[in-house]
Structure 1
Amino acid sequence: MFYPKYRLRRLRRTENLRRLIRETQLSVDHLIYPLFVVPGKDRREEISTMPGCYRFSLDKLRSEIKEIEDLGIPAVLFFGIPSQKDEVGSEAYADKGIIQEAIRATKEVSSDLIVITDVCLCEYTSHGHCGIPKNGEIDNDSTLEILSSVALSQVRAGADMVAPSDMMDGRVAAIRERLDEEGYSHIPIMSYAAKYCSGFYGPFREAAESAPRFGDRRSHQMDPPNSDEAMREIAQDIEEGADIVMVKPALAYLDIIYRAKSEFGYPLAAYNVSGEYSMIKAAAAKNWIDEKRIVLEILTSIKRAGADMILTYFARDVARWLA
């Protein structure tokens, strides 16, 4: 019977052999933990559609931040639910807005944890859209001034990085120009460069109270069948001054992550979004899957596809597992 001289199984026999030749390494260093903050006091509310995730008031946020830092997670991404909403999302750029206060509260606890802020309007507007509606459509250019004001307000409060997620054309350039003019040229921009109009966002919209009151977001978020368009979006954001580009969602768009890394070689983030999280949680609750094994397999696949960093609601659990 013929056997090949090179038997691939030879290096799979033991865990230490597998460790020696492991090509992709998942580390706590690669994780960004998204958090939801709300007004009030003594609020730690579990999100019904995202078991294990919570909305925190500022007093509860401080202890959460300390735990995150102790786990070695290097960065958090904040989403805020304001006390009131209006047509232009003015609470998003208010000096004492929920995100601005969350940034200050975090910096009181940790000077090292990287605070990234979501720059968008959907959580703050009465209509729930990412931009300003005019005549039944989202007006791109009038939204840019507001977005740059949001980013500036967050950075003044102490944000270490801003992450525009609105998908308006030209938002990276508008934010970069505004930050540079105000003396914040050192602040990086993580752009949601290829953000698809996905069904995987459902649980997040409940968590952030950000579902649109009319219509949908197909006019500005990307059409899921498109791949070449994603490369154009990424190229444009890089040209406008993005320091990190993001693909969102991650699991259904591994091919986009791979293409983006291969074609641009740029620092690349991938968002393991709420729907991906909640499906795993639901299946694990039914004992249909091994949650830890599946989570690590999925996050490793995202890393293997080319992501340098992963935004995931599993970050706390993964940090413990990897430790």
Structure 2
Amino acid sequence: MGNFRRVPVGIVGASGYGGVQLVRLLMEHPEVELVYLGEENSTGKAFTSVYPHLTNMVKLPLEAIDPEVIARRCEVIFLALPNGLACQLTPALIEKGCKVLDLSADYRFKNLATYTSWYGNDRSDHHTANNAVYGLPELYRDRIADAQLVGCPGAYPTASLLALLPLFKQGLIVPETAIIDAKSGASSAGREAKTHLLLAEADNSLSAYSVARHRHTPEIEQICSELAGHEVTVQFTPHLVPMVRGMLATVYATLRDPGLVGDDLTTIYKAFYRNSPWVKICETGIYPQTKWASGSNVCYISIEVDPRTGRVIVMSVIDNLIKGHAGQAIQCLNIMMGWDETLGLPKLGFYP
């Protein structure tokens, strides 16, 4: 049989929605063994005391967050922590040789002044941040393959950027005209109790929030600027939809060539994503629904052109907790380890 060895992995911040998604996916991943779950406020508790539905399936306790212990037991560590905490742990973990996948915003920015201006946390780990790779596989697959530290994108930037990449990469739009109208289920806000997420507040209601100041805006602009070759600003407005999971980003932009039609753009997108197993381009006139992606790591994209306005309209749907969070992190892990990019990830969503 040979000496097959599973790679030992751990999760810090395991009790959140992102953490429990990671637990579910990693438990079923054929190449890894989940050996450590860290959580500062629940140390000593069984993980199943937080998530009883996993009783008899997950035997691990929640342990104190100690870089020495983590590095001794884990080759790979996922950090599913609130913004501003991963940067306190990561330099020590990198120094001890761990591969680190950070699901917060701490390592998504090359320019830490941008991070500080939007997130308010002063940072001293400039060297560590400079070596981080932005974890969007469809754009940075080669960089991720050589990375020790990956800053995994947020769900809104993932859905938005996958819709925008071909347009910016191939210079098809006037960059400054990009407008992103995005909608997400309540699980994007995490598990912490918040009044506006109470059933009585959110149900039967649709609302915009953080208008003109959402923290994911500079993350989207950073990648668009890199692709455009100059500074780009985008208009981004998120909305809370009364459902648990799912995200739809509808992107509008003015085409440089108003003669392009929907079929042209669909052909361009199919060619652009031909080597991206998790992006599915719909036929012209078929518009994706969030339910299609629910529970899967798939992003569904549809492209339409309005000849009357000269604008392209791109619709992108993902499961915010999978492709927008835990699934994408594992996709990055697969690439870092030289495994098949689809390994251990759900291809089919929950439908209906």
Q: What is the TM-score of this pair, normalised by structure 1?
A: 0.33
Q: What is the TM-score of this pair, normalised by structure 2?
A: 0.31
Higher share of residues assigned helix: 1
